[in-house]
Amino acid sequence: MICIKLNNVELLFPSKPEDILLKQYIPFKRMYDKVNKIKESVNEDEVNEAHNIFLEEAECIVQSLYLFIDSDLIDLYDIPVRDENNKGLAELYEKLLIIMASYKPLESCKENYTFRFKEIDYTIKGIHKSSNKDLSLIESIEILEAQRIASTYPKDKSDDAIYSSMLTTLAVLSRKENERFPTNQLDINNLISSRSIELAEIPYTIALDAAFFLTFILQS
């Protein structure tokens, strides 16, 4: 994270992809797509329409930045989107885009996917990788539980639904060293609950790499 100053208020702001959390990335991506659609709809010959579109774009930029800046610390609506030097909130928004563009996604998959979060190593076993491998009972329970939970989430693609689905999938499939997935449903539920709390602040880079690794695991 880096320290930035807005209206004489010092704020922490992301400086690299790993600073951006999954719960921030999902709504930011939705806002980003909305801004692009707004830009595509601009008709420069329609002055009133262009003005309204500018306001829509500015609102998206402000709401996007509030994902990373505490609204109790500063009112972003008091800051220009762009000033005479082309500085302002739009510059911060563009910095976020540059940071996200610098993220290098997982290019290849080994047998397992291992990540480190808050000084703890987690492993997602690639038990779905080989169709020739006979799954043990505990491996089958693990995969079936992930599939069951994925099927229960609403199909509305809301930010909360996407985040919950990705987080719970990670909670089900991420194992600590020498950790064994439980067979009792009550123990499974307790593990998912505690692991979801542990991983709630996970960077989006880890989540997207895991999602790439798990591309086929939730296919029925």
pLDDT of residue 109: 64
Number of C-beta neighbours around residue 138 at 10 A: 12
Is the pLDDT assigned to residue 64 strictly greater than 90? yes
Give the angle 27-29-157 at the CA atoms, nearest 5°: 60
Position 144 confidence tier, pLDDT thresholds 50, 70, 90? confident
Residue the block writes with tokens 């123990």: 187
pLDDT of residue 133: 59
Q: 24 by DSSP, 3-state: which?
A: helix
47-65 and 89-101 helices cross at what angle (nearest 10)? 60
| Burial letters 80-96, b for 16+ CB under 10 A, else e | ebeeeeeebbbebbeeb
pLDDT of residue 39: 75
- Residue ranges of domains in the chain: 2-101, 113-213
Is the pLDDT assigned to residue 28 strictly greater than 90? yes
Q: How far is CA 36 from CA 96, 102, 217, in A?
A: 15, 19, 32
Q: pLDDT per residue over 90-143, tens digit each?
A: 999 999 999 999 998 877 666 788 999 999 999 988 765 554 556 677 777 877
Compute the radius of gyration of the chain from its Cα atoms: 21
Query: For residues 210 and 124, is the Cβ–Cβ distance under 8 A?
Result: yes
Is the pLDDT assigned to residue 218 strictly greater than 50? no
Give the predicted TM-score (pTM) of the model. Answer: 0.85
Position 42 confidence tier, pLDDT thresholds 50, 70, 90? low
Q: Whole-angstrom Cα distance, residue 122 to residue 115?
A: 5
pLDDT of residue 76: 93
Q: Whole-angstrom Cα distance, residue 147 to residue 219?
A: 8
